Chain A
Amino acid sequence: MGVKESLPLADNQGKACMKTLMVLAVSTCLAWVPAQAQSSTEERDTQSKLIALEQVVRVQALPSKDVKTLEMFLADEFVLVTLEGRMESKAETFANIQELNSLHYVMNEVQVRVHGSTAIATGLFRMSGVQRGKPFVRQGRFLDTWLNHDGRWLLISSLSTPTG
């Protein structure tokens, strides 16, 4: 008899547990949907921000030798790999920029992929100008790694490679 009495009790406990789990599952799903939506909105915002930063660094600051702006967005440990496969530090990059007599820089097909506080930007570029009195035209594809440090996006590496 005692066993029989205890069975409905166990059944009720099971039902209650099932109900709790269902409530938890539904609330988790409801919480997940806005979180995901927020996440993709944040990702889109970051992508737009980094495309704008690429424009500032490559199309504006570089041709105008605006070292002050470049200093803001290039990390101290920044490393550049040039089209010719040379490696340059931040200081070497700045020194080479000073040797430019003129520069016209165009970029397109810029894409950004965000991985939390790290982002990868790629795009095509064409630059023409005069360096140490010699005219040049170079084109290729770039691959940049950005890192978010204390809310600020900093460029930590940039690689350029020929497209053809």
Chain B
Amino acid sequence: MRLAGLMLLVMALDIAAPAQDMADPGTVAVIRELEKQWTTGHASNDNRSLALIFDNALVYLEYGHLVSKGEYLSRIKTQASSLDRITMESSDVRLRGRTALVVGIYRETQVRSGKSTVRRWRFVDTWVYKTSGWVLIAAGAAPIEN
């Protein structure tokens, strides 16, 4: 009886989940917070918190190269945190059902051999809602030409 009750509860949850309204302002706030967590996690070499918000099949386009979740996280772990700084300039969250696109501009400051360079990038991040919550499935950026 308990088993039947549990199965009914699981079925009810499964039916209720797609009915959730993903286009509400709360969802936009969640996505913005996740983007913030990504920037913070990147800056503080916190690959454990990044692992939670990245999907295992993440596709990350970094300087024109395809980078997997594992490759990105292991680099973050060993990267000197003071060298690179990401500053968000603008971002726009576009929701469509269980998919969220974030389009925006960030500024990247890099210090190499004591010399600082600043580049601006336009990015597109794709988030999807899975059973564990919102996860990043793809991200890429193109350098903005002056």
Contact = CB atoms under 8 A, between A and B. Distances in A.
Is the A/B pair a real complex?
Answer: yes
Main secondary structure of the interface of B (DSSP, over half): strand
Interface in B53-76: 55, 57, 59, 61, 63-66
B32 to A, nearest CB: 18
Contacts of A143: 59, 61, 124, 138, 140
Given A79-B94, A83-B142, A161-B140, 4 more contacts: A115-B55, A115-B128, A147-B96, A161-B142
Contact of B96 (A77, A113, A159): A77
Contacts of A159: 61, 123-124, 140-142
B57 A141 contact: no
B130 to A, nearest CB: 7
B107 interface: no
A118 B130 CA distance: 11
A8 interface: no
Interface of B: 3, 55, 57, 59, 61, 63-66, 94, 96-99, 101, 103, 120-124, 126, 128, 130, 137-138, 140-145
A125 B124 CA distance: 19
A81 interface: yes
Contacts of A86: 122, 144
A162 B143 CA distance: 8
Interface string A89-132: 00000000000000000000000010111101010000000000
Nearest to B105: A85
Interface in A28-50: none
B61 A141 contact: yes
B64 A145 contact: no
B101 A157 contact: yes
